[in-house]
Structure 1
Amino acid sequence: MKGTSSYMYIDLIGNIYIQEEIIYYDKLLTFTCKNDIGNLFVASCIELDEREQWLFLPVSEARLLQILRGSITAYEAFRNAEMGFLWKVALKANNYTTGAAEQVLCMDLEDDDLPDKEIVFDIYGEETFSIKNKDRSRIIEQSVTERREFLDISLELQESHTHEIEASFLGKVLEGTQNIVNIIAHKKGINAKIPKKIKEENKLIYTGDYAASFGIRLKSHSLANILNESDLQENLRIFMNLLEAKSDAKKITEILNGLNPAVIHYYKNFLSMLKKENVSVKTYCAFPNEEYRTLNLSLDEVNQCLKVLESDIKEITKEDIFLGKLVAIDTTTSSFKFISDDEEAISGVIDKSVNTDEYRLPKEAKVKLKIRTKLNDFTGKERIEYELLELQYQ
């Protein structure tokens, strides 16, 4: 049905030309369209009879993108129309050339006339009412052709339908995303000091924007190997897993347990930045092996996730083995200082089970540490503590 010919004619609105089909069940029930002068609408059939009843929602281009990307529910879109009104249209079921329209205020609409509150029109993902997604095919095809990982980030500004964004905030989003990927990649690390090699392997390049309220596209700096795989892919998967976990404290803890303790700090900073600017986020990830993922994190979900991180996940404890040099032991305070082979300085307390009676320093050693990340309730800052559990001189 999509094309240059008119699908409907409605008085007060004009000729209607279909843009995107959203719901089709025996016949077209929901679609996006425009009229002769380019005004955009989302049309939804609310009564099927000899004389059909339709709602036509006037939308801006930016608002339409929010609706089609599932950033807001269909119910919210119709209930809170940008212009405060919709068109209620009556049409003969067998004749779409003589539609009659009347203007109705959002507040006068009954809930029975609106889409269910859970429905989203996500034509770019895999929701119930998705259509064949050319954008998804395109990003996968480009990733395969270039042998590079793609990460698209759509920033949805609350109560704003613009394609513009503050440069300072955009810079923070780009820096925050790269920092999280880097710190995830440094899995054996114990703090935020990232080796140059890891930074280089996980470098993301900003290559432009794409259609969204404000969409940015990042690509890997390096090419995937001949199997179309790379270490960056696994790190991006973990980043997506964190976002996907949302406010599930158990899932978040399981993910964080295998990572650098500093990940929670950078992830919390990233979410806090979104909360401060009232921004929800949607991400799209494509790899050269044709793997594709997408997810949406609403502003409410951002807030809930932050609450969990600040209340339920105040401490994360893990044990790991490190090689390096033990450079100091203070038996009076039961404390130690250790320099790992990655040149990371670690200091903390010594467990009572560790024998420190005989030693010469500095000395080659292998140590087992307990790493504890704590959240200060008053300052809101994280503190990382180390405890020496085992000591073996080399």
Structure 2
Amino acid sequence: MDFDSVITPLGELFITDVLLFIDEPKIFICKDEKNSLFLAYFIDSNNNLDEWFFVKISENRVDEIVTGNISIKAVLQNPESGWLWKAFLHYEDDGLSRIIQIDQHQISKADLPAKEVKIILKNNTNHVYSSNEIAVSHRSKHLRELPNEYLVGKKIAELPPRKNTTLQESLETKRDVLDVSLRINNEFSSELDLEVFGSTLTTIQQLMYALDNRWSGKSKAPQQVRKNNALNVTTLFAASFGIRIKSQNTRDLAQEPEMTNSLGDFLDLLGCSKNAEQLENRLKTLKPKAVTLFKNLLETFNEHQIEPKIEFASPNNTYKETKLNSIQIHNAVGVIKQSGEQSSKVIEMEGELTGLSFESGKFELRNESAELISGRIVSFLEKKNYRLFEKVSVSLLQKEILNSFSGKKQIMYDLLNIKFIEIED
């Protein structure tokens, strides 16, 4: 979500007061293009949708809210108009978002704060705050479990708020910007395990190299690939644990940094992880090294129960955003492991039989390209005396196995059948 506005089926709503910020604005006052005021209240996230209440409010109700004279729960239960909007906003596709109008008596208790939460703005004589002036809660549980009062303006967290949006920073600095927000164990935290922090950053950097088509994934990435895809950590911010990363290079003469494509591919890959079929198809287009690195990144998230939100922007005005929940991450890891384990097919080949031993269960063949092929003998191959160094036609089961540590594909062969080729005089 942008800190300045939110796109809804009601139109674009412009945020004027952020009352509660956990990862992003969760309770805020906003207005539409006609200057009608609304209280926005985040309910929960389900199946790629964020659920919200939007309540139309008057200036008098705004004053009551920001001075703590009325609780958020009371505002929702007693809308001035007698009704409110319940919105289901899709993470990435505005076309799938929807909104319904409900009567105040139709509100589910499960959607309301459990306590009479009150929001008190510091210096309430002027209640208009920018996104840079809001504080972050020291608790990150569901909003229904928040303390009775929450003071905006009191800096509780050690990490500062993000100074501007991802796109704004990219346009101002003329660099690619990647904002990585990590929600840990479904809780807000301004701290992150050092090993997890280092592993996450290192894997993202290596993945940028692997997504560059100029590197095959073998040995070390070429110097030019490393130079063009180099990233710097520039700041940390509250979101829960936010990391701002920028390209080392600024935009080129074509007004586009050299690594924009790699970062864009990274966001697309994360987005595909929400759908097994899309992820399987995407994996087929990647080199083994990239698959292994992406799997390692997701396994780190999975192991430490981290739910990431990733935002990417480039100076050419490109902006992409995606986030993954713990179930999507777990499923994606399973898809990658399954698709990367093994693929096999039967092939026919001609060549010279140079070695065969039923005792060791191994064979060796020199094909017509003078390449030496070796592997196992299947148990059902007829055991008899085979003449070596003669031309044969063989049926082989060729298996491609992805080494999840090295990212390399290993090709193995099983000998299924042998036919000797008679050479005419």
The bucket for the TM-score relative to the shorter chain is 0.5 to 0.7
In the alignment, the residues of structure 1 paired with residue 279 and residue 366 of structure 2 have an alpha-carbon distance, to the nearest angstrom, of: 28
1:45 maps to which of 72, 76, 85:
76
Structure 1 residue runs of 5 or longer lacking an equivalent are 7-17, 55-66, 71-77, 90-105, 110-134, 318-329, 335-348, 358-370, 388-394
In the alignment, the residues of structure 1 paired with residue 230 and residue 353 of structure 2 have an alpha-carbon distance, to the nearest angstrom, of: 43
In the alignment, the residues of structure 2 paired with residue 42 and residue 221 of structure 1 have an alpha-carbon distance, to the nearest angstrom, of: 47
2:116 maps to which of 81, 84, 87:
87
Report 1:50-199 matches (<5 A).
79=110, 85-87=114-116, 138-191=165-218, 193-199=220-226
Asked if residue 20 in structure 1 is aligned to residue 52 in structure 2, the reply is no
In the alignment, the residues of structure 2 paired with residue 312 and residue 41 of structure 1 have an alpha-carbon distance, to the nearest angstrom, of: 48
Could you say if the C-alpha distance between residues 273 and 199 of structure 1 is closer, same or farther in structure 2, counting changes exceeding 3 Å?
A: same
| Residue in 1 that maps onto 2:410 | 385
Counterpart residue identity of residue 311, structure 1: Q
Partners of 1:285 and 1:292 within 8 A in 2:
yes
How far apart are 1:212 and its partner, in Å?
0.6
Partners of 2:302 and 2:330 within 8 A in 1:
yes
Structure 2 residue runs of 5 or longer lacking an equivalent are 1-14, 20-25, 43-61, 93-108, 119-140, 145-161, 345-351, 357-363, 372-397, 413-425
In the alignment, the residues of structure 2 paired with residue 350 and residue 258 of structure 1 have an alpha-carbon distance, to the nearest angstrom, of: 32
Partners of 1:148 and 1:220 within 8 A in 2:
yes
The SS at the match of 1:85 is coil
How far apart are 1:44 and its partner, in Å?
6.1
How far apart are 1:208 and its partner, in Å?
0.4
Could you say if the C-alpha distance between residues 227 and 80 of structure 1 is closer, same or farther in structure 2, counting changes exceeding 3 Å?
A: same
In the alignment, the residues of structure 2 paired with residue 210 and residue 30 of structure 1 have an alpha-carbon distance, to the nearest angstrom, of: 23
In the alignment, the residues of structure 2 paired with residue 159 and residue 281 of structure 1 have an alpha-carbon distance, to the nearest angstrom, of: 11
Could you say if the C-alpha distance between residues 229 and 2 of structure 1 is closer, same or farther in structure 2, counting changes exceeding 3 Å?
A: closer
In the alignment, the residues of structure 1 paired with residue 365 and residue 111 of structure 2 have an alpha-carbon distance, to the nearest angstrom, of: 60
Q: TM-score scaled by structure 1?
A: 0.55
Counterpart residue identity of residue 272, structure 2: A
Could you say if the C-alpha distance between residues 333 and 35 of structure 1 is closer, same or farther in structure 2, counting changes exceeding 3 Å?
A: farther
Q: Deviations over 1:128-178 (max 9, x none)?
A: xxxxxxx89743233123221000100011232221212221111111111
| Residue in 1 that maps onto 2:421 | none
Partners of 2:73 and 2:116 within 8 A in 1:
no
Asked if residue 30 in structure 1 is aligned to residue 57 in structure 2, the reply is no
Partners of 1:229 and 1:289 within 8 A in 2:
yes
In the alignment, the residues of structure 2 paired with residue 47 and residue 280 of structure 1 have an alpha-carbon distance, to the nearest angstrom, of: 35
Counterpart residue identity of residue 147, structure 1: K
| Residue in 2 that maps onto 1:11 | none
Aligned-CA RMSD value: 4.8
The number of aligned residues is 269
The SS at the match of 1:385 is strand
Could you say if the C-alpha distance between residues 29 and 256 of structure 1 is closer, same or farther in structure 2, counting changes exceeding 3 Å?
A: same
1:248 maps to which of 265, 275, 291:
275
Partners of 1:372 and 1:384 within 8 A in 2:
no
In the alignment, the residues of structure 1 paired with residue 341 and residue 71 of structure 2 have an alpha-carbon distance, to the nearest angstrom, of: 48
Partners of 2:269 and 2:279 within 8 A in 1:
yes
Partners of 1:148 and 1:287 within 8 A in 2:
yes
Asked if residue 355 in structure 1 is aligned to residue 363 in structure 2, the reply is no
| Residue in 1 that maps onto 2:296 | 269
In the alignment, the residues of structure 2 paired with residue 166 and residue 49 of structure 1 have an alpha-carbon distance, to the nearest angstrom, of: 47
How far apart are 1:291 and its partner, in Å?
0.5
Q: Deviations over 1:312-364 (max 9, x none)?
A: 443479xxxxxxxxxxxx98479xxxxxxxxxxxxxx9995x4329xxxxxxx
The SS at the match of 1:272 is helix
Could you say if the C-alpha distance between residues 27 and 150 of structure 1 is closer, same or farther in structure 2, counting changes exceeding 3 Å?
A: closer
Answer with 1 or 2: which has the greater Rg.
2
Counterpart residue identity of residue 238, structure 2: A
Q: Name whichever of 22-31 and 150-159 sits farther off.
A: 22-31
| Residue in 2 that maps onto 1:229 | 256
In the alignment, the residues of structure 2 paired with residue 38 and residue 273 of structure 1 have an alpha-carbon distance, to the nearest angstrom, of: 45
How far apart are 1:203 and its partner, in Å?
0.5
